[in-house]
Chain A
Amino acid sequence: MKSRTQRFPLLIVAAAAMTFSASAAWADIKVGFNVPLTGFAAGDGKSALDGAKLAVAQANAAGGVAGQKIELVVYDDQASPKEAVPSATKMVEKDQVVAAVSGSYSGSTRAAASIFQRAQVPYVVAYAIHPDITLAGDYMFRVSAMGEVQGRGGAKLVQNLGKKNVVLITLKNDFGQALAAGFKEAAPKLGINIINEYEYGMPDRQFGPLVSKVKSDNPEVIYASGYFFTAGPLVSQLRAAGITAPIIGQEGYDSEKFIEIAGDASEGTLITTSLDRDSSSPSTKAFLADYKKATGSGADMVAAASYTAASVVIEGLKKTGGKGGEALKNAIAAGTYDMPIGKLAFNDLHEVKKDVQVQVIKDKAFHRHSVISDPVLLAPPTKAK
């Protein structure tokens, strides 16, 4: 009994402290962040969250925005539209975020887009590449090259390699199909012959039959979309079957985990992505070093793109003094940004125009292979489309 009365004042102090910290948090500028932290995409989700957190931490360490701290309000969307809708609604209604960032895949980002558009909350998308996202309205922004553009970049790479006969292995989701659409659109113009296209599903890790068929097709190049957890087994199985044709992947491969899974078979794999590890740009170098220091692992495209998307929001907030809504939308749209994934500016559809980075895996690390810059071929769509 005695001990209870002794603890009682402590409780009051604790309650008071909580009230104070709560009121301090109330004044923070809230930025929403939807990201897959559970489910099949949780690996990418972790990178995305680390990237975005780094951007926020750096901004807060440098004094925040208009004297206020930025708070990242994180929701796990499991990369699923049915989770993304309630989390977007909560961000808008309950948390009243001034802006939001997508660190998630196309399916969930598309679903969240219309909610943010309706609420006039600027939504900056890191690496979801489906075209419909920016079509949701003028509050949408995307910092990565959209799927079709990257697909066209892939076709251009085939031409640059001096090859002609290609087999497409397409992941059957928004990501894979957008890439394939871009590739197929550009292929005839570049004199590329698509021998066959095969599709596979997200849960597939065993590609035996598909590999046998690709082998009998005998292509000069394989253009295969996927994420590191599907592409790792796929590339390793293609090589195990004795297929030696170059394999072109995309930003979904862009993870050290891909090299770990595919092992020796990953050597020589080419990817089109937005992060150039051998870049001489100071902002890229600084990001790579800071990320390594903060997390202990090497940055991938997902981390770099999420860092970029969060930074774009923060720069916009600095211009508006922490205000959201239309002012923030206009500020973000008008800005130019020097980011780890390159120099960015938005067009009238709020897509970025940028070069496609080609990386190659050499000695178990990503290195620069080439840069594809073709302003006509790689032009993102505009409103006029």
Chain B
Amino acid sequence: MLTLNLVAQGLIQGSIYALVALGLTLVYGLLRILHVAHAALFTLGGYVGVLVCNASGSLALGFLCAALVSGFGGVIMFRLAYQPLLKQPPYVALIASIGLFIASEEAFRIIFGPQGFSFTDPSLQQQIVIGGGLQFKLAELLVMLSTAVIIGILAWLQARTRVGIACQATVSDPQMAESFGISLRQVRDINFFVGSALAGFAGVWVALLNNLVEPTMGSVPSYKALAIIVLGGLGSVPGTLAAALLLGVIESFGTIYLGDFLDRNAIAFAFLIAVLMVRPQGLFARR
């Protein structure tokens, strides 16, 4: 029963990692930028979700606003910070990204105060008992379910729609794609919007699970998501998904059985190093 519980908890955590890391991998695939400030949009989503939900009483509206605000936030971030740097070597954008992330943490603290916010009346807290020994919050089950649904939709969009195919074409050969009449600018905007909206969406889930949003809530996802996209083979969507879930489960067991000598947040990187020694291209790289 403990094993089953640990797997379930790992998948819950992995779902959140997946939502955050997917946006990052979309950006990396398209622009080769390690977008650390992505985690700021995750935090932004959490704040917007809690504030809107507390003001309106509707969690659904909270989710919607969080995804929209984070999505547009991502596009603005791209236009203002990354676009002017695209001709520079990638580390220039990385430095800008780290700076943006630190500045955003402080901005959240200055605007919303250091203590963070909670839902005044948190929803989805009902207890669900499965098979006697497994007990979850409703929110924990829904986070897994919604991640599966969203990623399914995303995969379908990418494979079956014009916009999705345009995105894929831009990733594999931007110049050729442009010569076929695909607007690079549009594709990049869409990518940032979708990826950032996912991060905002994840932020609201984390806010619900912990009943807390705080200025520093993005600090762990900011670097762990980087480890995940490297594991997943940089830029590969299915690889990122698999790596996120796998890391969730490994962390779950690691926290209990390796916790005495390895920090929970160090497990991700120990695993990353171990994998890169055997498969330098990442676990699930296509090439």
Chain A positions within 8 Å of B, measured between CB atoms, are 37-40, 42-43, 45-46, 172, 198-201, 203-206, 208-213, 215-216, 229, 232-233, 236-237, 240-242, 257, 260-263
Contacts and interface: CB of A to CB of B under 8 A. Distances in A.
A208 B253 CA distance: 11
B114 A232 contact: no
A212 B127 contact: no
Given A38-B109, A233-B212, A240 B125 contact: yes
A213 B12 CA distance: 16
A237 B251 CA distance: 17
Contacts of B32: none
Contacts of A204: 264-265
B212 A261 contact: yes
B115 A212 contact: no
A45 B212 contact: no
B164 interface: no
Given A232-B211, A232-B212, A216 B2 contact: yes
B9 A209 contact: yes
Interface in B51-82: none
Nearest to A260: B118
Given A172-B263, A213-B256, A232-B212, A43 B219 contact: no
B252 A209 contact: yes
Contacts of B16: 206
B217 interface: yes
Contacts of A209: 6, 9-10, 251-253, 255-256
B211 A233 contact: yes
Interface string B117-130: 01000100101010
Contact of B265 (A199, A203, A242): A203
A263 B6 CA distance: 25
Contact of B109 (A42, A215, A233, A241): A42
| Interface range on chain B (Cβ under 8 Å from partner) | 35 or more
B191 interface: no
B116 A205 contact: no
B185 interface: no
Contact of A42 (B9, B114, B260): B114
Nearest to B16: A206
A190 to B, nearest CB: 25
A236 B124 CA distance: 13
A48 to B, nearest CB: 11
Residue of A206, A211, A263 most packed against chain B (CB within 10 A): A206
A20 B259 CA distance: 60
A213 B2 contact: yes
A205 B115 contact: no
Nearest to A239: B127
Given A42-B114, A203-B219, 13 more contacts: A43-B116, A43-B214, A45-B114, A199-B260, A208-B12, A208-B13, A215-B5, A229-B212, A236-B211, A257-B116, A261-B210, A261-B211, A261-B212
Contact of B1 (A43, A210, A216, A242): A216
B98 to A, nearest CB: 16
22 contacts: A39-B216, A42-B109, A43-B114, A200-B255, A201-B263, A205-B212, A206-B12, A208-B10, A208-B12, A208-B13, A209-B6, A209-B255, A211-B9, A212-B256, A229-B212, A229-B214, A232-B210, A240-B125, A242-B127, A242-B135, A262-B211, A263-B125
Contacts of B106: 38
Nearest to A256: B115
Contacts of B212: 205, 229, 232-233, 261
A85 to B, nearest CB: 21
A215 B251 CA distance: 18
A212 B252 CA distance: 10
Q: Please list the 7 inter-chain residue pairs (A to B) with the smallest Cβ-Cβ separation, ordered nearest first.
A: A42-B114, A208-B9, A212-B5, A43-B115, A233-B210, A209-B252, A216-B2
Contacts of B8: 208
A220 B8 CA distance: 25
Contacts of B214: 40, 43, 229
A46 B49 CA distance: 25
B216 A208 contact: no
B209 interface: yes
Nearest to A234: B210
A269 B115 CA distance: 21
A200 B263 CA distance: 8
Contacts of B219: 203
A212 B265 CA distance: 18
Contact of A201 (B5, B127, B129, B265): B265
A242 to B, nearest CB: 5
A368 B140 CA distance: 35
A241 B209 CA distance: 12
Interface in B111-169: 113-116, 118, 122, 125, 127, 129, 135-137, 140
Interface string B77-97: 000000000000000000000
A115 to B, nearest CB: 26
Contacts of B277: none
B116 A200 contact: no
Interface string B14-31: 001000000000000000
